[in-house]
C-alpha cells in the first residue's frame, strides 16, 4: 500500500477524473495514477476489446515533435537516424514506423513510434522513459532540430473491430486510413493527430487530442455502446497475446533488436551493405548480431497446463537438474486463448518452434514449448 | 452446527467438529479480480498454520492462500480446476478450497468472527 504522500506525488492524466467517475481502480504506473481496471474487470475488458472496441487512456506516454531548423523534413529524419537503427528517411508523409533508441552497447533505451507529419516528425515514447528520451534528443539533435515536448496533449487509444465505425462517426476520414497511416485530422471538430495503430494486435487508432478537450472526446466515444473503457490490466494481456514487447520487461538496455526478435523493424538500408548502414549507437554490435547471429533470442512460450508462468520464472532444458537456460520476461493468462501465454529469452539453439522446455514455478518444473507469436492473429487493416 | 471464522489474510474457515472447510473471502476475490487458475494442496499433506497451502491466480497476479490452522488435508475441491471463476461467483460457498483436520483447536482462538472481519476490511 502506498503512503499518502507517495500517492499525492503521482501525476494525473487529463482523464483522471473520468477514470474515477467510471469506477476505475487506480494504481501507480510510471509515476502516474492510472486505472488498472474498471468494474467490468480485466477478463471482460480484454474480451470486449477483441470483440467490439476498447478505449484506453495512454496520455502518460510522451509525445514529442521533432522540427527541423532548416524546414526540410529530411534533415530531421537524417538527424533521428543517428539515434535509431530504422530507416527514417523512407517514412512517407502521413506514415508511421516502429523504432528503438539504441545505446553504445547495442541495447535498447526505449522503443517508440515515429510519424512523418510533412514538416516535422512526431514521436510517441514510453511514459517511464520520456524524460530520458527527451534529454537524449536534446543532447544529440539540438544542432538540427527543435525538440518540442507536447505536454498539453492527451493520448487516447481506440482498439478493436468496432474502432473504425466508432471513430468514423467523429472523423469521416478514419475508414480511409490504413495500418500505420498517421497525421493531423479533425475528430469531433478537435485538432487531433490520428494514427491507425495500437498495442493490442487489433485494428484501431491512437488519437492525440488537446488536453483540455480530452475528457469531452473520451466521453463522446464512450457514448457509443460498442466502446468500453479499458484499464492497464487488459492492455497488458492484450499486448502479450499480440506478442508485443513491453519496454523494461521484454526489452531493455541489455537486449539488442536481434536478440529481441525485432529484426523486421530494422530496414535493410541500415544493415551491413545498406545505403546508410550503421551510424547509430551500438551499430557494431547490432550489425554483428545481424551478420553472425546472437546467442539468445526472445520467443513465445505456451504451457501444457493452466497454471500461468509469470515474469521472472527461470527456464530449464530438462525436467530436473541443470542450470537455468533463460528467463520469462512477460507471462500471464491470455483471456482470448483461455490459456497461459508467456515470452522470454532462450539460447538460440533452443529457440525453434515446438522446442520443449520447463519453467520453474513454485519449486516445480512445468512443461512448456516455444510457440509462434503473435499468439492471437492480428487484425491490422493493411 | 458450523461456525465461520476469518483470518487477517482473507481466508474463511467453516468449522464442523474437528474439520475446517477453507476458502478465500468474497472481499479477497473482489480484490483479486477474475480468477483463472487455482492450485490446491494434495490430499494427505500436513500443513502448518500460516504455511502457503494453495495458490489463486488472476489474469494479472498470483496470490498465496495460507493454512489458517495446522492439520492434514482431507479433501480438495476439484470443481475449481475446471471452473476457477467459481471463486468470483461464490467465494464463500461452492468455491471452497480444501478441508483440513484441525490438529490443535486452540489455534482457532486467534481468528476473527464475521463482525470482526467486517471491521477488518472496512
Cβ-nearest to B36 among A36, A236, A333: A333
Farthest-apart Cα atoms in chain A, separation: 64
- CATH 2.40.30.110, domain A295-382, yes or no: yes
From A44, A234, A310, residue closest to B62, measured CB to CB: A310
Question: In this predicted model, what pLDDT tens digit does every residue of A91-119 receive, in sequence order?
Answer: 999 999 999 999 999 999 999 999 999 99
A15 contacts A59 by C-beta, under 8 angstroms: yes
Give φ, ψ of A16 to 5 degrees. Answer: -55, -50
pLDDT value at A349 more than 60: yes
A206 is in an annotated binding site: yes
Q: Which residues of A touch B39 (CB under 8 A)?
A: 307, 362
Kindly provide the b/e burial profile for residues B42-70, where b requires at least 16 CB atoms within 10 angstroms of the residue's own CB.
eeebebeeeeebbbbbbbbebbebbbbbb
A41 contacts B34? CB cut-off 8 A: yes
* The pLDDT of residue A6 is above 80: no
B84 CB neighbours in chain A (<8 A) are: 306
Q: Please report residues of A whose CB lies closer than 8 A to that of B59.
A: 42-43, 46, 233-234, 237, 332-333, 335
* In chain B, residues 45-74 whose CB comes closer than 8 Å to chain A: 55, 57-62
Shortest Cα distance, chain B CAs vs residue A7, angstroms: 19
- pLDDT of B60 reads 81
CB contact under 8 A, B59 and A332: yes
> In the prediction, which pLDDT does A5 show?
54
Directed axis angle between helix A42-51 and helix A232-241, to 10°?
50
Give Cβ neighbours of residue A105 (< 8 Å, ≥ 6 apart).
A253, A254, A282, A285
B33 → chain A, closest CA residue? A41
Longest Cα–Cα distance in chain B:
38
Given an 8 Å threshold on Cβ–Cβ distance, is B37 in contact with A233? no
CA-CA distance, B38 to B86, in Å (whole number)?
10
A183 and B CB contact within 8 Å: no
| pLDDT tens column, A32-89 | 999 999 999 999 999 999 999 999 999 999 999 999 999 999 999 999 999 999 999 9
Instruction: Say if the Cβ atoms of A46 and B59 lie within 8 Å.
Output: yes
Q: What is the mean pLDDT of chain B?
A: 96
Say if the Cβ atoms of A333 and B57 lie within 8 Å.
Answer: yes
What does the pLDDT read at residue A91?
98
Residue of B35, B38, B52, B59 to mutate for A, most A C-beta atoms under 10 A: B59
Residue spans of the domains in chain A: they are: 4-60+152-241, 295-382
Structural domains for chain B = 3-102 (2.40.50.100)
Q: In what order do the strands lie in the sheet with A182-187?
A: A182-187, A190-195, A204-210, A153-159, A53-57, A227-229
Provide the pLDDT for residue B1.
67
Shortest distance, CA B16 to any CA of chain A (angstroms)? 31
Residues 6+ apart with CB under 8 A from A226: A52, A53, A162, A165, A166
* Contact between chains at A306 and B36 (C-beta distance less than 8 A): yes
A-interface mutation test, from B29, B34, B55, most A Cβ less than 10 A away: B34
> Under an 8 A CB cutoff, do A36 and B60 touch?
yes
What is the value of ipTM here, to two decimals?
0.87
Contact A218, A18 (CB under 8 A): yes
Amino acid A22: pLDDT: 98
Mean pLDDT across chain A: 97
B-chain CB neighbours of A234 within 8 Å are 59
The shortest C-alpha distance from A250 to chain B (Å) reads: 16
Q: Dump pLDDT digits (tens) for B32-62.
A: 999 999 999 999 999 999 999 999 999 888 9
Q: What residues of chain A lie within 8 A of the CB of B37, using their CB?
A: 306-308, 333, 340
Cross-chain CB nearest to B33 (options A41, A307, A310): A41
What confidence category does residue B2 fall into, taking pLDDT thresholds of 50, 70 and 90? confident
Residue A1 has a pLDDT of 42
Determine contact, residues A101/A282, Cβ cutoff 8 Å: no
Does domain A4-60+152-241 fall under CATH 3.40.50.720? My reply is no
pLDDT (mean) for A296-310: 96
- Asked whether this chain's domains A4-60+152-241 and A295-382 adopt the same fold, the reply is no
End-to-end alpha-carbon separation of chain B, Å?
Answer: 28
Q: Residue B33 and residue A42: Cβ atoms within 8 Å?
A: yes
Under 8 Å between Cβ of A53 and A134: no
How many angstroms separate the first and last alpha carbons of chain A? 44
| Mean pLDDT for the stretch of residues A7-35 | 95
**What is the mean pLDDT of the segment spanning A316-330?**
97
Does B89 contact A at CB distance below 8 Å?
no
Amino acid at each position: 500500500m502506498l503512503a499518502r504522500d507517495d500517492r499525492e506525488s503521482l501525476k494525473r492524466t487529463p482523464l483522471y477524473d473520468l477514470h474515477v467517475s467510471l469506477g476505475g481502480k487506480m494504481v501507480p504506473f510510471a509515476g502516474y495514477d492510472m486505472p488498472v481496471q474498471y468494474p467490468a474487470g480485466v477478463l471482460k475488458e480484454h474480451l470486449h476489446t477483441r470483440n467490439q472496441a476498447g478505449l484506453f487512456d495512454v496520455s502518460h506516454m510522451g509525445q514529442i515533435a521533432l522540427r527541423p531548423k532548416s524546414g526540410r523534413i529530411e534533415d530531421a529524419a537524417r538527424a533521428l537516424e543517428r539515434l535509431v537503427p530504422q530507416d527514417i528517411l523512407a517514412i512517407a508523409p502521413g506514415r508511421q514506423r516502429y523504432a528503438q533508441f539504441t545505446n553504445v552497447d547495442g541495447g535498447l533505451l526505449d522503443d517508440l513510434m515515429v510519424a512523418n507529419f510533412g514538416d516535422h516528425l512526431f514521436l510517441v515514447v514510453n511514459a517511464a522513459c520520456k524524460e530520458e528520451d527527451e534529454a537524449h534528443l536534446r543532447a544529440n539533435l539540438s544542432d538540427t532540430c527543435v525538440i518540442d515536448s507536447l505536454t498539453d496533449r492527451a493520448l487516447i487509444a481506440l482498439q478493436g473491430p468496432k474502432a473504425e465505425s466508432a471513430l468514423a462517426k467523429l472523423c469521416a476520414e478514419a475508414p480511409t486510413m490504413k495500418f500505420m497511416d498517421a497525421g493531423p485530422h479533425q475528430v469531433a471538430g478537435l485538432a487531433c493527430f490520428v494514427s491507425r495503430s495500437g498495442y493490442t494486435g487489433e485494428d484501431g487508432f491512437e488519437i492525440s487530442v488537446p488536453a483540455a478537450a480530452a475528457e469531452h472526446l473520451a466521453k463522446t466515444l464512450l457514448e457509443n455502446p460498442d466502446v468500453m473503457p479499458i484499464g492497464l490490466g487488459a492492455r497488458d494481456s492484450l499486448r502479450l497475446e499480440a506478442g508485443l514487447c513491453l519496454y523494461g520487461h521484454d526489452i531493455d538496455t541489455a537486449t539488442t533488436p536481434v536478440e529481441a526478435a525485432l529484426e523486421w523493424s530494422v530496414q535493410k538500408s541500415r544493415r551491413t551493405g545498406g545505403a546508410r548502414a550503421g551510424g547509430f549507437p551500438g551499430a557494431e554490435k547490432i550489425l554483428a548480431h545481424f551478420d553472425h547471429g546472437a546467442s539468445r533470442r526472445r520467443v513465445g512460450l505456451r504451457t501444457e497446463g493452466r497454471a500461468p508462468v509469470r515474469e521472472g520464472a527461470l527456464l530449464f532444458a530438462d525436467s530436473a537438474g541443470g542450470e537455468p537456460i533463460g528467463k520469462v520476461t512477460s507471462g500471464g493468462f491470455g483471456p482470448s486463448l483461455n490459456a497461459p501465454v508467456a515470452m522470454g529469452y532462450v539460447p538460440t539453439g533452443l529457440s525453434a518452434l515446438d522446442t520443449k522446455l520447463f519453467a520453474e514455478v513454485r519449486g516445480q518444473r512445468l512443461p512448456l514449448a516455444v510457440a509462434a507469436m503473435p499468439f492471437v492473429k492480428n487484425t491490422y487493416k493493411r | 452446527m458450523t461456525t465461520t471464522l476469518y483470518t487477517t489474510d482473507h481466508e474463511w474457515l467453516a468449522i464442523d467438529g474437528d474439520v475446517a472447510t477453507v476458502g478465500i473471502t468474497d472481499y479477497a476475490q473482489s480484490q483479486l479480480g477474475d480468477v483463472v487458475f487455482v492450485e490446491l494442496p494434495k490430499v494427505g499433506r500436513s500443513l502448518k498454520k500460516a504455511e502457503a497451502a494453495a495458490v489463486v491466480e488472476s489474469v494479472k497476479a498470483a496470490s498465496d492462500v495460507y493454512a489458517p490452522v495446522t492439520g492434514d488435508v482431507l479433501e480438495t475441491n476439484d470443481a475449481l480446476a475446471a471452473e476457477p471463476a467459481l471463486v468470483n461467483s461464490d467465494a464463500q460457498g461452492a468455491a471452497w478450497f480444501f478441508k483440513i483436520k484441525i490438529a490443535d483447536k486452540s489455534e482457532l482462538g486467534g481468528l476473527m468472527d464475521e463482525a470482526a472481519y467486517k471491521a477488518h476490511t472496512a
